Amino acid sequence: MAQHPGGQRTEQYGADGHRASTYRPSAVGEMLRERPPMVRDLPPFEPDAAPAEPVPLFVDWLVQAVEAGVPDPQVMTLSTVDADGVPDARVLVLRDVDTAEAGWLFAADAASPKGRQLALSPMAALSVYWPQLGRQVRVRGAVEPAPAAVSADEFRHRSPGARVASLVGRQSEPLGSLAAYDLAAEEAQLLLDADPQLVAAGHTVYVLRAHEVEFWQGDPGRRHVRLRYTRTGLGTGRIAWTHTLLWP
Ligand SMILES: Cc1cc2nc3c(=O)[nH]c(=O)nc-3n(C[C@H](O)[C@H](O)[C@H](O)COP(=O)(O)O)c2cc1C
């Protein structure tokens, strides 16, 4: 019998050497079982009435998430792959959407792990879940930096605290102590005081140009509705979309 960190998994080995397992959930597993997701009233989604393009539908759902009181509805998960092809993911703030180009805009330090991953492999996915509405949106596409002037302008419109945090830099490097961070932030504050137009060296607005966008409407009876938009005419300069339902 082998112990599993969460539940208890009893392992037996059959005569042919294959492993057979039974699973008994731990207290954590039981707690989760008692809280199935999306067992509440959720809004309907009528795919027949969906627009021809995904950005207007995304904006519509985002506005509804704001109105439903979803906390931080603009926070999405950005997934990338590292140099070894290993996936990585973290949340960040959606800055804007570009309807004409089907672009999702976010900002990050080009020297951070995600910035380096995007430089090596400029394809990514953004995903968001709005629990109050039981809605998920998944966006996949190619990522490229916006023009430097756009990044600089976006930076200068940030709060002083956010600018100082970006000027400190070294994101995701090991930090010796919180006092070391405070010292670096004080130095960054002095630099910003001396030059209020200063922009952090690696600060970059990125644009993910979607080639695929999926809208997922959860249903308490598990009759979830999924609608996937796929971009056509890639490389022709012409943006057109088709959409199809997906089996849930
Ligand atoms: C709510 C929230 C919003 C965030 N927004 C951003 C953001 O807009 N840009 C960013 O670079 N990191 C943001 N972060 C931090 C990232 O999740 C991540 O910790 C950081 O960017 C380092 O990621 P990396 O090591 O993969 O580069 C946010 C974190 C949280 C919890």
Cβ of 107 less than 6 Å from ligand 1: yes
The pLDDT > 90 percentage for the chain reads 87
Q: Span 164-192, mean pLDDT? A: 97
Mutate to test the pocket of ligand 1, among 70, 82, 90, 155 (most ligand atoms within 8 A of CB): 90
Instruction: Annotate 83-121 with b (16+ C-beta within 10 A) or e (fewer).
Output: eeeeeeeeebebeebeeeebbbbbbbbbbbbbbbbbeee
Question: Where do runs of H (alpha helix) occur along the chain?
Answer: 27-33, 54-67, 113-120, 148-156, 160-168, 178-194
Q: Span 171-191, mean pLDDT? A: 97
Cβ of 112 less than 6 Å from ligand 1: yes
Mean pLDDT, the chain, rounded, equals 92
- Asked if the interface predicted TM-score (ipTM) of this complex is over 0.95, the answer is yes
**What's the pLDDT score for residue 18?**
57
Q: Degrees (nearest 5) of the Cα angle 40, 41, 44?
A: 135
**What's the pLDDT score for residue 15?**
52
Does the structure show a pLDDT above 80 at 10?
A: no
Q: Span 169-187, mean pLDDT? A: 97
For the chain, residues classed under CATH 2.30.110.10 are: 48-246
Q: Span 181-199, mean pLDDT? A: 97
Does the structure show a pLDDT above 80 at 16?
A: no
Task: Quote the ligand 1 centre to 73 CA distance (angstroms).
Answer: 15
Q: What are phi and psi of 237, to 5 degrees?
A: 85, -5
Domain made up of 48-246: CATH architecture: Roll (2.30)
Q: For atom 2 of ligand 1, which residue has the closest CA?
A: 92
**What would the pLDDT profile of 42-98 be if each residue is shown by its tens digit?**
999 999 999 999 999 999 999 999 999 999 999 999 999 999 999 999 999 999 999
Q: How confident is the model at residue 239 (pLDDT cuts 50, 70, 90)?
A: confident
